[in-house]
Amino acid sequence: MKNRSITLVVILTALLSLMATQTIYAGWDPREDKTESSNTGNREVDKAISRLKSKDPGLKLFFKKAYGYAIFPTVGKGGIGIGGAYGEGEVYRQDKFIGTSSLSQLTIGFQLGGQAYTEIIFFKNKHALDDFTSGNFEFNAQASAVAVTAGASADADYDNGVAIFTMPKGGLMYEATVGGQKFSFDPAR
């Protein structure tokens, strides 16, 4: 029984490690829309923002009106019964970098596979952003994200001062799990 538990942990760790690796691009994709670019100074963040705006142009309004946002260009998620997710991102207040954040999640329930996705959290006002940056912020299991597709943002709205959007990057995962996301915040120096 002990060997079976160790084997499960090794497989889960290997799966999560595999998902955490990213595809290396040559740096130029002719399909990327350069007309509405972002310039955060972080290439991965800029590419993620460009992909989000390209997939759903309605997100431009969220970028324009939100008090701030946290963006996680790549979140890796995987599991076999017990799963987890992890991603690193950046936090912005009125388009100015204010720090870094990490996202972690532990889930228990029916799940199998792995996937990578981009996640962005918009903060409607100062209070919502201050809650996020105050330390250990957490979404409960009922928090829901809008999958980014053309026009999806048209019906999206803030819930408790935050609006969450995700966009798949790759992989396949089947799940019916319970678990909330936790975030840490490190202010810029």
> What residue segments make up the domains of the chain, in order of their start?
2-23+39-187
Burial 36-56 (b: 16+ CB within 10 A, else e): eebebebebbbbbbbbbbbbb
pLDDT digits (tens, 9 = 90+) for 17-48: 444 444 433 333 443 444 344 566 678 999 99
> Average pLDDT, whole number, for the chain?
76
pLDDT digit string (tens) for 57-89?
888 999 999 999 999 999 998 888 888 899 999
Cα(113)–Cα(139) distance, integer angstroms: 23
pLDDT digits (tens, 9 = 90+) for 96-134: 999 999 999 988 888 888 888 899 999 999 999 999 999
The pLDDT > 70 percentage for the chain reads: 67
- Beta carbons of 68 and 129 less than 8 angstroms apart: yes
